[in-house]
Structure 1
Amino acid sequence: MVVRFVSSIVGTFATWRRLPRAVWLLTAARAVNRLGAFTLAFLTIAVTARGFTVADAGLLMSAFGLAAIVSRLIGGRLADRIGRRATIVGGLVATAAAQLALAASTSRLALAVAVIAVGLAFEIYEPASQSLIGDVTEPADRPVAYGLFGAALACAGIAAGALATLLGGLDVRWLFVADAVTCLLCAVLIAATLPGTTRTTPPTRGTAPTGRNPWRDPLLRAFLATGTVFAVLYMQLLTTLPLTLARHHLGAGAFGLLLTLSAITIVAGQPLLAAPFTSMTAMTAGYVLLGAGLALNAAAANLATFIAATVVWSTGEVLLLGHVYALVGDLAPATARAHYLSVYGISWGIATLVGPFAGTQALAHAGQAWLWTAAGACSLALAAIQPRLHRKARQRTDAHQPAPVSASLEILS
């Protein structure tokens, strides 16, 4: 076991060394952008400070969430039509412009329009970023590449929380200006350094190998369904876990500690992605670990138990997020990869709308034990269906081999 783990560590570093420069540039740029995204934590504050009631602010934030779903779908379409680099740069510039409009708004109507504009721009670059990683890496390296991308974002998210605490006393308008500046800096970095090529063949309309578009692909719909359940479960860790901690007189400091520990676990667990597991084995194990960690929260009554649960579910997260994006990307032809990833990605938008309400209602009416036990059971159910789902995916990828990296590079610019 020790020898295998050491071999996985060596394999991880070897894979990192051969990852294309574009992956490292994109990861660094997205981490900086994620660092600036701490202003989203102040969006509700900015809305209520401008005269909106709490109820109206909640409706506006729901509109923001719906706009973000649309934004992701737009980003997938653009990435496959005009290229990855152009979409990333355009999305970042649009986000910066919307943030500046939000900071400059002087009326409730202008503020509402600006908030929705931020939502419409915010996710445009995400499918392009994810698909670009698949474009420039070989299939065997993609889980490690996606894992590196996720680990960088997790660490940047923790740093963003610290910045939010330090800068929370400033005028909210200036925070949105600062976020706009980070978006523009990332756009310049991507435009200046990310390699691109001239398109030699026009992209298709993004159809599946069966001739159907992604929405009509039954296999993608199955992954979207399982991904949505996973995202709803994960939302409980962000929304109802702090409430569960509060029931045991553990405050925001304890939750911050768990988030930091989760980020550390994600980084330390990267060698698991270089282990010689099939995607089916890795994702089945990931759902089992996630379920065990969630179920452990059901019986937790002190910080030590919550810490143990966090390490377990975070290890499952490493395996799941590292493999699922590589697998979904492999289901699509190269010219439709971003569209497939954008459709799969709306699982997080749906979970953002559904997860907090469902979790808080379950916690309030059923209690801690029922909430987290049910969440753990749902994760184990997802683990049980992975073999069948992956057999079908394997049949697809065997019949329709992914395009070589050299062909995928045609749609970068």
Structure 2
Amino acid sequence: MPRTVWLLVVARGVNRLGAFSLPFLTVLISTDFGAGVTTAGLLSAAFGLATIPSRLAGGRLASRLGRRRTIVLGLTGCAGAQLGIAAAGSLAAVAVFAVLLGLVFELYEPPSQALIADAVGPSERVRAYGLFNAALAAGGTGAGLVAAALGRWDLRWLFVVDAVTCLLCALILRIALPADHADHADRTDHTGLSGEATPSDDAGRAERAEAVHPWRDRALRAMFLSGTLFALVTTQITMGLPLTLARHGLEPADAGLLFTASAVTVVAAQPALRLRRLAELSDSAAIALGHVLLAAGLAGYAAASTMTAFLAATVLWSLGDVLVLGRVLTVVADLAPPGGADRYLAAYGISWGVATVAAPVTCTQLLQHVGVGALWAGTAGLCLVLAAAQLRVVEPLLRAPGVPVA
């Protein structure tokens, strides 16, 4: 892999080491400020709503300010907002900082994903995005232990640790990534080309970026709809697992141990992606198989009542996550025209913002009105629907994507 990919992989792992505060935001609101489950869910949804313009801004700022500047801006902004949540003395202050966190939370994603797409050839993108996701998981192995330990002491320290790792990640990338005006150097590692970008190069890239209209692409719209439901499933897991453990009389902070088990599974499963039978699967077939494994794991949550049962179900759905995550980013990057990766990935990434808005509400309401079993059984059923839709609806559009129309 090119140097740029490894830099992003290492920095992402460092950042992920402290990034287990958000699943406990609803718990913090409920325990420290006495808010009800509905209020906690609405405040978490407000954070998610703020991430939608953040993702779009990340794509635009990357093409205007530069990718490195946008990444550093997003990470330092996250650190400030996280420290604000940790120090907040009232529910209103938590709400303000949660929204501010959402507004900077997704600035990092479009430029970092686009840097990976540009740094490797199309045939290597699945592997590169697999490494990127493995870095998240590797950092998550330590993060889950941090969450389990600090969560028993004081949930606010989770946000402090997250802020520190954001600043460390920003420092690493600010020093190590090539300057924005010389972004062609990023591609030297795999193309053998070198040299600084000229002003005309920069103008050409900016002009191409302005001409990109992702929402006119029918294939991208199909991936976005599917991706939004997948993101809803993933976000409901992170939001709902601590609350589910509490309903079973288990320690909510032990969700950190389950998240660690998930991370270990993702890292350990990376070599399996290079097995010929898996590597030869089409993107849609691999994504559909991943959704089926997710469904099986979440059905296990519906029946689980002990940590052993929760652990087995976690390993199963994590294997599905491995298959889905690397493939979807590869598909979106391949759909983008030259100069359009930032905008396409930013547009697709809104799916996570929509899910972050919806998941706290759907998760808490389902828990409150129909119970734990129905929450996870319904989420498993949604995964099966996604598997069928990927093969029957999305795949035909990917095989013959329509030309974007005005």
Q: Answer yes or no: same fold by TM over 0.5.
A: yes
TM-superposed CA distance for 1:120, in Å, is 1.5
Cα distance between partner residues in 2 of 1:108 and 1:95 = 19
Which residue type is aligned with residue 324 of structure 1?
V
Deviations 1:338-376 (A, max 9, x none): 211122112222222212322343344444444333322
Structure 2 vs 1, CA of residues 165 and 379 (structure 1 numbering), >3 Å: closer, same or farther?
A: closer
In the alignment, what sits opposite 2:47? Answer: 64
1:341 to 317, 341, 345: 345
Query: How many residues in Structure 1 have an aligned counterpart in Structure 2?
Result: 377
- 1:132 lines up with 2:115 in the alignment: yes
In the alignment, what sits opposite 2:15? Answer: 33
Query: Given that residues 144 and 260 in structure 2 are in contact (C-alpha distance below 8 angstroms), is that contact kept between their aligned partners in structure 1?
Result: no
- 1:191 lines up with 2:171 in the alignment: no
SS of 1:236's equivalent in the other structure is helix
SS of 1:385's equivalent in the other structure is helix
Cα distance between partner residues in 2 of 1:240 and 1:394 = 36
Map 1:8-407 → 2, pairs under 5 A: 19-40=1-22, 60-99=43-82, 113-167=96-150, 169=153, 172=156, 179-196=162-179, 197=182, 198=197, 200=201, 201-204=204-207, 206=209, 213-252=213-252, 255-274=255-274, 275-387=279-391, 388-396=393-401
Cα distance between partner residues in 1 of 2:167 and 2:308 = 42
Cα distance between partner residues in 2 of 1:158 and 1:371 = 26
Which residue type is aligned with residue 116 of structure 1?
V
TM-superposed CA distance for 1:254, in Å, is 5.3
SS of 1:36's equivalent in the other structure is coil
Cα distance between partner residues in 1 of 2:35 and 2:313 = 37
Cα distance between partner residues in 1 of 2:379 and 2:26 = 28
Deviations 1:375-405 (A, max 9, x none): 22221221112234123223239x99xxxxx
Segment drifting more, 28-37 vs 108-117: 108-117
TM-superposed CA distance for 1:103, in Å, is 6.8
TM-superposed CA distance for 1:266, in Å, is 0.7
Structure 2 vs 1, CA of residues 283 and 189 (structure 1 numbering), >3 Å: closer, same or farther?
A: same
In the alignment, what sits opposite 2:188? Answer: none
Query: Given that residues 135 and 334 in structure 1 are in contact (C-alpha distance below 8 angstroms), is that contact kept between their aligned partners in structure 2?
Result: no
Deviations 1:203-256 (A, max 9, x none): 24647xxx7711232221211111111122223322334444455544436534
SS of 1:203's equivalent in the other structure is helix
Query: Given that residues 48 and 355 in structure 2 are in contact (C-alpha distance below 8 angstroms), is that contact kept between their aligned partners in structure 1?
Result: no
Cα distance between partner residues in 2 of 1:133 and 1:320 = 17
Structure 2 vs 1, CA of residues 109 and 359 (structure 1 numbering), >3 Å: closer, same or farther?
A: closer
Cα distance between partner residues in 1 of 2:250 and 2:92 = 40
Structure 2 vs 1, CA of residues 318 and 41 (structure 1 numbering), >3 Å: closer, same or farther?
A: closer
In the alignment, what sits opposite 1:12? Answer: none
Deviations 1:46-91 (A, max 9, x none): 8789989668766554333222221111001112333322221222
SS of 1:335's equivalent in the other structure is coil
Cα distance between partner residues in 1 of 2:96 and 2:12 = 26
Aligned-residue sequence identity (percent) comes to 50
Structure 2 vs 1, CA of residues 371 and 183 (structure 1 numbering), >3 Å: closer, same or farther?
A: closer
Cα distance between partner residues in 1 of 2:33 and 2:321 = 40
Cα distance between partner residues in 1 of 2:171 and 2:309 = 45
**Runs of 5+ consecutive residues of structure 1 not aligned to the other structure:** 1-18, 401-413
SS of 1:386's equivalent in the other structure is helix
